[in-house]
Amino acid sequence: MASANRLNSPFNYFPPPFMNDLFSSIQGYPEHIVEQVKSLVDSGRFCQWFDKRYSDRHQIKSERALFDYVQKIKNQYMKKSAPLSKAIYDPKIQLINNALGLHTYRSMVHGNKVKSRNEIRIASVFKDAPEALLRMLVVHELAHFKEKEHNKSFYSLCTYMEPDYHQLEFDARLFMIYLTLQEGEK
Ligand SMILES: [Zn+2]
């Protein structure tokens, strides 16, 4: 078949399609950090390095389990904020702006009452992820209950819930690279 031949052809000089976007998840981080990641990838040791850093995978697979997990963190740090309506894994998330999670807030008018719904959507690739990285996403989306923008008070809320927040956010982005590389090896 034509496509199979092309793969083995010495004239196949096009990079695999995923390579162009491989580092898009860490766009915006300082150049020297991006370079470090790139050289680790170039050396072929990235996945091995990541596996060593994060060897666990959480067991929060169902939406019920995810809801309980989010609720527990919310009760611990943000008990007084608006209630959580829904928490789901969403396969469409990553396609939107490279986002890893999404918080939606809807106001609905019921008679003379305004009801709000706070929903948390987590990119479904995080169904099979290290627990710390799932927690970071949940913390991020919970912080949006109080603060819609990614501003200073938003991030201080994140680090209040998870002191290692900034490192974990970076690592969650590295996890995107990890998944892309794993996918490329299949
Ligand atoms: Zn956000």
Q: Print pLDDT tens along the chain (186 aa).
A: 333 333 333 333 344 444 457 888 888 889 999 999 999 999 999 999 999 999 999 999 999 999 999 999 999 999 999 899 999 998 887 655 556 666 666 555 556 555 668 889 898 989 999 999 999 999 999 999 999 888 999 999 999 999 999 999 999 999 989 999 998 877
The Å distance, Cα 172 to ligand 1 centre, comes to 13
The Å distance, Cα 1 to ligand 1 centre, comes to 45
What is the value of pTM for the model shown?
Answer: 0.81
Q: Distance of alpha carbon 161 from its chain centroid, rounded?
A: 17
Of 72, 47, 41, 37, which is closest to residue 170 (Cα–Cα)?
37
The Å distance, Cα 6 to ligand 1 centre, comes to 41
The Å distance, Cα 101 to ligand 1 centre, comes to 7
The Å distance, Cα 168 to ligand 1 centre, comes to 14
Predicted local confidence at residue 13, as pLDDT: 39
Predicted local confidence at residue 104, as pLDDT: 63
Predicted local confidence at residue 54, as pLDDT: 97
The Å distance, Cα 51 to ligand 1 centre, comes to 26
The H or E element spanning position 89 is: strand 84-90
Tallying the residues shown for the chain, one arrives at 186
Taking CB atoms within 8 Å and a gap of at least 24, the contacts of 76-80 are 76/161, 77/142, 77/160, 77/161, 78/142, 78/145, 78/146, 78/161
The Å distance, Cα 59 to ligand 1 centre, comes to 24
